[in-house]
Structure 1
Amino acid sequence: MARAAALPRLAEAVALAPAACDALRRDDRRIVIVGASGWIGRALLAGLFDALGEEAARARIACFGSSEREVRFGDHGIVQQPLDSLADLETKPTILFHLAFLTKDKVGGMSEEAYVTANRSLSGKVLDALGSIGADRIFVASSGAAAFADDPDAAHDLRLYGSLKRDDEQAFGAWAESAPGRRSLVMRIYALSGPFINKHETYALASFVIDALADRPIEVRAPIRVERSFVPVREVTSLALAELMSEGPPSLLIDSGGTAMELADVAEAVANRLGGSVERAAIGEGRPNIYTSDPSAYDALLARHSITSTPMGEQAAQTAVTLMRQIA
């Protein structure tokens, strides 16, 4: 309980940066979120409700996903509509967050043809609807996997996922370049942190945080060197809002930022903030697993909008906010 009391409140962990809040006040575009029930979508919703207030947020936000359902985020909920109804929205100036995609962990559970068809259909529905609904700003959550699309040494599922993400990058960038007044920000996201983290069995950070909260040693089991660069979800959403609601080039493609860290150093940062010890398996001679970004363009945008980067320890605390129930 003492450890829980030391964590930030959810509102603090999702709070949008001042530059994003200022942008929301001076720009009244409708905000459409495709993929609202996912990690970034829920964190964005929580940040928007906190920044705008519930009444204004409900009047300004429209959510879409695979089916009609209520998306919960903290004490609030909002109904997302089926993606097929996106094109039925009234035409008005809109900033759209395209966050929906079948990730590479889905490759093994379906045929490759079905996987490719499903993702191309999803992105096609978004792209086809942009003009009719009046969208002139779009944020696309791409993936660092796009950098491995043509890497012969990368795993097949990573190359397939990456190639589809790269197709999205090109399609939405071309949309922004095709008419005056449009802007796109496509971000290749490498590693996220923060509230509403999902796939707890897949993400090392979730495992580390849960171990620390449960007073277990934080185990790093990888027998090779593993490097990742983390950014908090609130930083990503803040940067997207601040940049797209300001003037700039029609299309931007950037990597997410963060400092490249070996998983043992990530675990140490978690332990230093949340308590506990780290047990790191011996690192052998195998090929290192390096999945880190080039943060230069991201850092330049942070500086442009006076957004302060978040140390890894505090990223761990923000991630822990919605993981406490895992140890109940």
Structure 2
Amino acid sequence: MIVRGDQHIAIAGAGGWIGLATLDLLEQALGDALAERISCYGSTERSLTLRSGRQVQQRPLSQIATLNATRIWLLHFAFLNKDRAEAMSEDAYRTVNDTISATVLNAVSTLPVEAAFVASSGAASKVTDPFASPAMRLYGQMKLDDEARFADWAEGHGRRAVISRIFNITGPYINKHQAYAIANFIMDALADRPIAVRAPREVFRAYVAIRELMSLGFALMADRSAPVIRFDSGGEAMELGRVAQNVAQVLNGGSVNRTAITDAQPDRYVGDDRVYTALRHAHGVEAVPLSRQILETADYMRGLVN
């Protein structure tokens, strides 16, 4: 990943999967300059440990507006995801996410932020889907609201908002291994178990590596051709049975046990790869093949399961 310019990079939600993976990429790009070029914020003050062993201090998100820097790029990864919507009351969930959004929006409005990367979600495309769960629709609506706020900020202040609806990603720091299909398949393969695909319907997913996604994100923040750019994460759409076969082949795993498909309603959660691919090509970002994504994700997970 190439980080163009000398902007200070503020990361809201640094301790989550995407935040930690991005910190890892920034460490590779900036080396020892990382400490002076980045500031991390999250729900609590704590130390974040990268794969290299480097410790990065995270400060409370409430302190983000006190950042002292002359040129800033802000990465907005802070949000309670769908699993929290399932566990909380709707009012509580809305209150927390509205507070997070308002805190970050205040920071981009009052600090010299030149560009912001807003990590939205593919759930924003499911708001009116009658087959989506109430938690998915609620999460998606709040992500839609967040997209609109930051687009308005960029257009009203002459700044740049790069808004990405993230569907399915791979790479180090992956979490929720039981919830994410590809992580579950990798766990089975690493444990020498048959890979189980339990969905009783066709399930389609498309994967991109975090390092690919964020390389594009940084390139787009540097491109000031328009105040707002929106794109979905892309990748080739595959049914989970085929994804599992890829995992088994790459990791020299065993068999794949695919539950019989008895439900005619497919589950399709993929972004617009045509726009994503066009943006990649325009900015010279190479695609990471699925086989490489699997290896890189498994390398990280292997250290967790052994």
| Superposition TM-score tier, normalisation by shorter sequence | over 0.9
Matched, 1:219 2:207: no
Paired AA for residue 209 in structure 1: I
Distance 2:241 2:139 in 1: 27
Distance 2:13 2:181 in 1: 23
Query: Aligned to 1:323, what secondary structure does the other structure show?
Result: helix
**Kept in 1: contact 2:207–2:290 (CA 8 A):** yes
Structure 1 range deviating more: 57-66 or 147-156:
147-156
**Kept in 2: contact 1:208–1:267 (CA 8 A):** yes
Paired AA for residue 64 in structure 2: L
One of 156, 163, 166 as aligned partner of 1:178: 156
Shift of 1:109: 1.8
Q: 1:30-179, aligned counterparts within 5 Å?
A: 30-54=8-32, 56-74=33-51, 75-179=53-157
Shift of 1:70: 0.7
2:174 aligns with 197
Paired AA for residue 124 in structure 2: A
Paired AA for residue 226 in structure 1: V
Matched, 1:260 2:237: yes
1:308 aligns with 286
Structure 1 segments of 4 or more deviating over 3 A?
none
- Show CA shifts across 1:21-70 (max 9, x none): 1x43xx1000000111111111111111111112x111110000001001
**Kept in 2: contact 1:91–1:132 (CA 8 A):** no
Shift of 1:91: 4.5
Shift of 1:301: 1.2
Task: Give unpaired runs (5+ residues) of structure 2.
Answer: none
One of 211, 225, 238 as aligned partner of 1:234: 211
**Kept in 2: contact 1:144–1:162 (CA 8 A):** yes
1:324 aligns with 302
* TM superposition score normalised by structure 1: 0.90
Shift of 1:245: 1.5
Distance 2:6 2:49 in 1: 24
Shift of 1:154: 2.0
Shift of 1:138: 0.3
Paired AA for residue 183 in structure 2: A
Query: Aligned to 1:136, what secondary structure does the other structure show?
Result: strand
One of 251, 263, 269 as aligned partner of 2:228: 251
Paired AA for residue 287 in structure 2: S
- Show CA shifts across 1:136-182 (max 9, x none): 200011001101112233211111000000000111011111122x1
Paired AA for residue 110 in structure 1: M
Distance 2:258 2:128 in 1: 32
Shift of 1:248: 2.1
Matched, 1:282 2:260: yes
**Kept in 2: contact 1:228–1:292 (CA 8 A):** yes
Paired AA for residue 123 in structure 1: S
What is the count of residue pairs matched by the alignment? Answer: 304
Structure 1 range deviating more: 189-198 or 128-137:
128-137
Distance 2:112 2:49 in 1: 27
Distance 2:245 2:130 in 1: 33
- Structural RMSD (CA): 1.1
**Kept in 2: contact 1:270–1:312 (CA 8 A):** no
Kindly indicate whether structure 1 or structure 2 has the higher relative contact order, using CA contacts under 8 Å at least 6 residues apart. Answer: 1
Query: Aligned to 1:121, what secondary structure does the other structure show?
Result: helix
Structure 1 range deviating more: 216-225 or 147-156:
147-156
